[in-house]
Each structure stands twice: as C-alpha cells, then as structure tokens.
Chain A
Amino acid sequence: MSSRFLELAVVALIALTLLGCERESRRFSDSPATPRGVQTIRQSELQPGSSIPTSGPPSPYDDNAYAVSQGKQLFEWFNCKGCHADGGGSIGPALMDEKWIYGSAPANIYATIVEGRPNGMPSFRDKIPPQQVWQLVAYVRSLSGQLRKDVEPSRADHLFTRKSESSSPKSAPVSSSAPRDTQ
C-alpha cells in the first residue's frame, strides 16, 4: 500500500516538474512559425463557406507563463490598451468576454494582429516580430481564461482595474460581432 503511494507520489512529482519546466522556460531566440494565410493581405470580409478557420498551428506559448507575462507587458507597450482598455474594451471590442468577431483560435488572433481588421484594428505586419505576436496571442487568450490557470498572470504591475487574468472565469468562445449594448 505504502509502496504504491510512493510510486504515485514519484510519478506526480515528475509530472509536476515537467509541467513546471514548460511553464517557466524562457526561450529568448525563438522563431515560431507564422500561420498559413497570414502572409497575404485580405481585401474583403466576404467569402464562401465557413467564415473563420479554427485550425492552424497551436499557439507555441499557451503553456508558458513567462511568454504570457511578456505578452501582458507588450499589450501596454504597443498601446493595445489605447483601444481595448484593460481587456474590457473601449473604442475597440472587449477581449475578456466570450465573443470573438474574427475567431478565438490562436491562428485567428495572430491573423487579426498581423493583418488588421476593418473599423480600426491596425495591421502590425513587420512591426511586431512573430515571437512577440505569439506572446500577445497567448496573453489575449488569457484575458478570457482560455489558458491554464497557473499560466495566466495572477497580478498586475499597476492599478487593478479588474480581477487578475488567473482568477477570472473561463468563458466558452462564441462567434459574434454584436456590440456590447445590444445584449
């Protein structure tokens, strides 16, 4: 009985350590792949078939707390806050709710940042290197609780305007472009 417990404990410890490795790893000279389709400029919102592809490369930083907190810093540095506020939205849409106009998959968010979107979202093509775009993608996903709790930031460097990312509830993504006040 006790040896079985010991075995379990050792396995759990190894699993925790391995998880921790990814959570803490700092990859400075990473060059993650760019999702397919992001290299071209899209001229129209109309297309036949499903509007938002949900497949694509997984986000390289979904399990990496360091990258998410870097993304949080870049969110401020690159003035994402200027329109999306602290995630609650102002002249740009909210990022901490369940609604996604252009898709919630990492590749969709990547494309949104790099290509820009109608009605104000600028294109950051060539202005943000792929590694930092992926860090921003991971952080944007953490805003609505799409990442693991222990990876999401648990505190802010500045004044708290809302609950921390790690203590806000996870919301199931819904494809919607309805503005907030029509709810």
Chain B
Amino acid sequence: MMGRLSNARFRWLAVGCALLAPPGCSSNHAAMNPAGPRARSIAELMLGFVSVSTVVYLIVSAVLVWAIARRRRAGTSDDWLQRGSSEQSNVRSRQVISWATALTVLILLTLALCDYFVMHGLSSRPTDSLRILVTGHQYWWEVEYDDPDPSRRVRTANELHIPVGKPVELVLTSQDVIHSMWMPNLSGKKDLIPGHQNTEVLLADRPGTFSGQCAEFCGLQHAKMRLMVYAEPPKQFAAWKQAQLQDARNPSNDIQRHGLEVFESSTCILCHTIQGTQAAATVAPDLTHLASRTTIAAGALPNTQSNLASWILAPHRFKPGVQMPATQLQPDDLAALAAYLASLK
C-alpha cells in the first residue's frame, strides 16, 4: 500500500517537474533548441519579444506600484484632488502620457519590423533544394522523396531523413482532414490541407534526431500522430536513400516465407505496399522497409516484433479510432507475419 502511494506521489512529482522545467533547452522537441538557421531566427525573434515584453511589463508594474504608494502618501483626498486639477500638474501629466505613448508606438513598430524581416527571410525559397512530398492521413504521415525519375522515388511513413546543410522543400497536403506539421527544432507550424499544397523549407545545420507532431486537431488519435526527423550527414543520407530504393528483402527462412504468404492472403494486402511483392495498395503506410523505422503507428509503439504482433491483432487497444482494422489470425500465422515484417530492414 505504502509502495503504491509513494509511486503515485512520485508520478505527480515527475509531472510537476516536467511542467515547470523550461520547455527545452536541450530537448528534441523544443523551439528554443533550434537545429538550423531558420528555426534559429524564430527562436531569436521569440527571445527578443519575450525580453522586451518582460522589461515593459516590469516598468509598467513598477510605475503602477509607485503611483499607488504615492497616492497614499499624498495625505487627504481633498488635497490630492486639488493638486490633480491644477494647471501645472495637467501639463506635466499630458507630457508624460505623450512620451509614454510615443515610446510604446516605437517599441511596437520595432517589434513589428523585426517580425516582418524574420518572416520575410523564412518565406524565401532556396533554388537547389531536395523536394519531399508529405501527405497527412488520419493518423500518420506519408512521405515521398520526389525525383524526376519515378523509379528513384522513395516512399516511407512517419519518418523524415534529411541531409545536414542542404535545404529541404516540403510540399504538404492532406488526404482527409486538415493536419498541421510541427517540428519545433527545425521550423514553425504549417497546415496540411486537402486539395491544396503548402510548402515549408527545412534546413538543419547539425545532425540529430528531432521529433515532430501534428498540431491541428484531426480526430481521436491526433495526439498519437508523431513524426521522427533524422538530420544526417549527406553521405549517410545518400546511403539511407539508396537502401530505401531497394525492393523488400526476400524471406530468408520458412517462417518468414509463411509470413509473406499470410500478408498476401489476408487483409494486409488491401491497404499496404511491400515493394517486390504483390502488395501494392497505397491507402496505408508503405511497409517495404518497415524494420528500418524506429516506431510503428506514427510513434505510438516502439518497432519490435512483439509490438507488431500485438498491433496487428488489436490496433484499437493502442490507438482507439485508428483506421487499421483488427485482424483475426491463427497464432502461428500471426507469429510468422510478425517475423516476416520484422525482417524487412
């Protein structure tokens, strides 16, 4: 009993700490920990606004406190009224008000100008950039690396790999409802709208793993619509892309072979693609290199063989409302299917 109580107390303490801690000076999901020049200009702008606002707030508060204290010291109310209506005092207060108003206008104009220049810089489109098409679905991200040669297009899901130092142009749209893409370390938010294309430019100047999240309520599992961004040195990125271009690995043993059979003969094949097999449907994530991804179901679960099996059997246990239906399979078939999927490096 005692143990359980202290456990619960500890959990509250942890939640409290997480809320109080400054949201991220080192986290991989934090606007104040920018990983590129574009995100840095947003972070600096935010810092500037917060600093100026804080100074103004402190000055106004100090003057307010001073005014209250001064009024109390000023003796009887008759005396104060008398002083307030005198000609000289009127002129002085008018002067003070004019100066304060002028200063306020100046500060606001300066902030507006800073904002304009930052936004103008962000709206510039680099000429030589990598184009990636991102389509929002309830509740996952479809990612396609554009290429003039259709056979060199890479399709994946819920993961963005980008080369460090090269601008990336994201072309954003949605298949169903409005979503919004937000990777705070790399950019601001941008909406994904059905029937419309938005663009957003990413530029990472250091390697790292960053987290993204849908930022526009899109349905029951909006919170579990996550995205991982891997900023990699150009060589590593090229190697990753080359690996993704390959067809899926052939099953290497009888269990995996049976798993592929199960995949092709059950409900999976109606929605998913595995390049190099009969499965070529495009309404759900491409599974050609599923095992190379770190999570499944848009960040809902770590990508392990047992999680894959649990997910296939009862996706609604982990993400109630997800579009993937529960699939009833015999235990042997399910184990083989999970083994096959886990082999798709």
Name the distance in Å between B39's Cβ and chain A's nearest Cβ. Answer: 34
List the B side residues contacting A128 at CB < 8 Å: 267, 270
Name the distance in Å between B300's Cβ and chain A's nearest Cβ. Answer: 14
Indicate which residue in B266, B267, B316 contacts A29 across the interface (CB closer than 8 Å): B316
| CA distance in complex: A131, B271 (Å) | 16
List the B side residues contacting A53 at CB < 8 Å: none
List the B side residues contacting A126 at CB < 8 Å: 265-267
Chain A residues with a Cβ closer than 8 Å to the other chain, count: 14
List the B side residues contacting A132 at CB < 8 Å: 325
List the B side residues contacting A31 at CB < 8 Å: 326, 328
Give the secondary structure class of B's interface. loop
- A26-B321 in contact given A126-B266, A127-B270, A128-B270 (Cβ < 8 Å): yes
Residue on B nearest A159 in the bound complex, by CB = B195
List the A side residues contacting B317 at CB < 8 Å: 29
CB of A77 within 8 A of chain B?
yes
CB of A82 within 8 A of chain B?
no
CB of A5 within 8 A of chain B?
no
Say which size band chain B's interface belongs to. Answer: 20 to 34
Contact B327 A127 (CB under 8 A): no
A 64-97 contacts with B by CB, 8 A: 77-78
Contact B316 A129 (CB under 8 A): no
Name the distance in Å between B264's Cβ and chain A's nearest Cβ. Answer: 10
Name the distance in Å between B37's Cβ and chain A's nearest Cβ. Answer: 38
CB of B188 within 8 A of chain A?
no
Name the distance in Å between A75's Cβ and chain B's nearest Cβ. Answer: 12
| CA distance in complex: A78, B270 (Å) | 7
CB of A45 within 8 A of chain B?
no
- A28-B266 in contact given A77-B283, A129-B326 (Cβ < 8 Å): no
List the A side residues contacting B321 at CB < 8 Å: 26, 28
Indicate which residue in B194, B220, B322, B327 contacts A129 across the interface (CB closer than 8 Å): B327
| CA distance in complex: A47, B176 (Å) | 45
Name the distance in Å between A26's Cβ and chain B's nearest Cβ. Answer: 7
List the A side residues contacting B328 at CB < 8 Å: 31, 129
Residue on B nearest A131 in the bound complex, by CB = B325
List the A side residues contacting B327 at CB < 8 Å: 129
List the A side residues contacting B269 at CB < 8 Å: 127
Enumerate chain B interface residues (CB-CB to A < 8 A).
176, 194, 220, 265-267, 269-271, 283, 314, 316-317, 320-322, 325-328
